[in-house]
Structure 1
Amino acid sequence: MPDRPLNATAASLLGFLHDGPMTGWDLVEYAQQRIGAFWSLTQSQVYRELTAMAAAGLVRAGERGRRDRQPYEITDAGRAAFAEWAAKPPAEETIRFPLLITVLFGRHLPPDRLAEYLAAHRATHAARLAGYEQVAAALPPEADDVDPYSVATLRFGLAYERAVLEWFDALPAALRPAAGGSGAAAATDG
């Protein structure tokens, strides 16, 4: 077992390695596809965690291949550490939504700039929702039975993006872009 408890990043890497050996590069790509919308993971974090997990005996480095890439595979100790981590209740989530900090202090920004930020973020969330909807539409009818874990995660993404878009659409008039797409409405609420 590792000297320190697994953090969620290390645990997610071990979880991915259950699918077979992967290089650090592969893990970064896989993580971006599978968890990138709700868990940030940098390339440096992946390599740092792989180095620490290799030292703790949770993963084993294979022979270097093309482009000096080295595959890692999970060990029995890694499977045990992952199982121990998965058996514990997850930590409570903390909302980290940088746009909310900007909105909170929005009175210190020119209204047009805040409206630009809001419009850009709304467009990002709308695009994310459209992507999730495409994935959901492509699922076979038996997807719930085949991979209920991925389906549940996808449904959370759909619900989250819909909720965020609903929040954008219910912003006070003073924060909404003016008709025509730029600037903030001159009216203020309350």
Structure 2
Amino acid sequence: MSVRQSLLAILDQGPCYGYQLRHEFDRRTGSTWPLNVGQIYNTLERLERDGFVERGETDSQGHVYWQITDAGSAEVAHWLASPVVRGRATRDEIAIKIAVAVTLPGADAGGILRAQRDESLARLEELRGSLSDDLAATVITQSMIFAAEAEVRWLTHTEQLMAQHPQHALSLELATERPKRGRPARII
């Protein structure tokens, strides 16, 4: 999730101070992704360093208003017009945990998988129960619901796959050979 571009997009609507940006971000995302104000100020400072925002007026209460530059507006337009490209390599903690578990002697990969599915189903029900009339919150919550549904389907599929192919479950002891220096080959 791009906090950087989201804050820039909000600033493209007009100058804001830090807490105001936090409020606007919450309002526009249905408060589904809480940001702390320190993260906002750190992001603003990086945006200033990169020439996308600049400090503007300070009001009587000491609020520093940040305003977008032309380069910042161009960055917002580019971000909004560009699709999000997901990386090829998986960094999914659940997938990695199960993949490692099926290779560990004595690990109950099936039990780990079932416990995760139970947790994922509970999260799915929690998400379904949190839907509201707020459009921004609904868009984000439904995205999370669809992702949780896909996770549950994948976990169920993986459990079936493990049951159908028990001969493919590995039990790897530590290798006795020492690897050479350098990065391992990428598996795609």
Q: In structure 1, which of residues 84, 87, 103 is the aligned counterpart of residue 81 of structure 2?
A: 87
> Secondary structure of 1:166's match?
helix
8 Å Cα contact 1:122-1:168 kept in structure 2 = yes
Structure 1 residues 14 and 110, CA gap change in structure 2 (3 angstroms) = farther
State the one-letter code of the partner of 1:169. Answer: T
Q: What is the deviation of 1:99?
A: 1.9
Unaligned runs of 5+ in 1: 1-6, 177-186
For residues 68-107 of structure 1, the aligned pairs below 5 Å read 73-77=66-70, 78-94=72-88, 95-106=90-101, 107=103
2:159 matched residue in structure 1:
172
Q: In structure 2, which of residues 4, 8, 11 is the aligned counterpart of residue 10 of structure 1?
A: 4
Q: In structure 1, what is the Cα distance between the partners aligned to 2:158 and 2:95?
A: 12
Q: Calculate the TM-score normalised by the size of structure 2.
A: 0.56
Q: Calculate the TM-score normalised by the size of structure 1.
A: 0.55
Q: What is the deviation of 1:157?
A: 2.0
Structure 1 residues 189 and 115, CA gap change in structure 2 (3 angstroms) = closer
Q: What is the deviation of 1:152?
A: 4.2
Aligned alpha-carbon RMSD (Å)? 4.5
8 Å Cα contact 2:58-2:64 kept in structure 1 = yes
Structure 1 residues 16 and 34, CA gap change in structure 2 (3 angstroms) = farther
Q: In structure 2, what is the Cα distance between the partners aligned to 1:71 and 1:117?
A: 50
8 Å Cα contact 1:58-1:81 kept in structure 2 = no
2:107 matched residue in structure 1:
111
Q: What is the deviation of 1:82?
A: 0.9
1:189 matched residue in structure 2:
166
8 Å Cα contact 1:11-1:85 kept in structure 2 = yes
Q: In structure 2, what is the Cα distance between the partners aligned to 1:22 and 1:121?
A: 42
Q: What is the deviation of 1:44?
A: 7.3
Q: In structure 2, what is the Cα distance between the partners aligned to 1:46 and 1:109?
A: 46
Structure 1 residues 44 and 125, CA gap change in structure 2 (3 angstroms) = farther
8 Å Cα contact 2:58-2:65 kept in structure 1 = no
Structure 1 residues 168 and 92, CA gap change in structure 2 (3 angstroms) = closer
How many residues are treated as equivalent by the alignment?
158
Q: What is the deviation of 1:88?
A: 2.7
Relative contact order (C-alpha < 8 Å, sep 6+): which is higher? 2
1:156 matched residue in structure 2:
143
Unaligned runs of 5+ in 2: 168-188
Q: In structure 2, what is the Cα distance between the partners aligned to 1:128 and 1:86?
A: 30
Structure 1 residues 172 and 119, CA gap change in structure 2 (3 angstroms) = closer
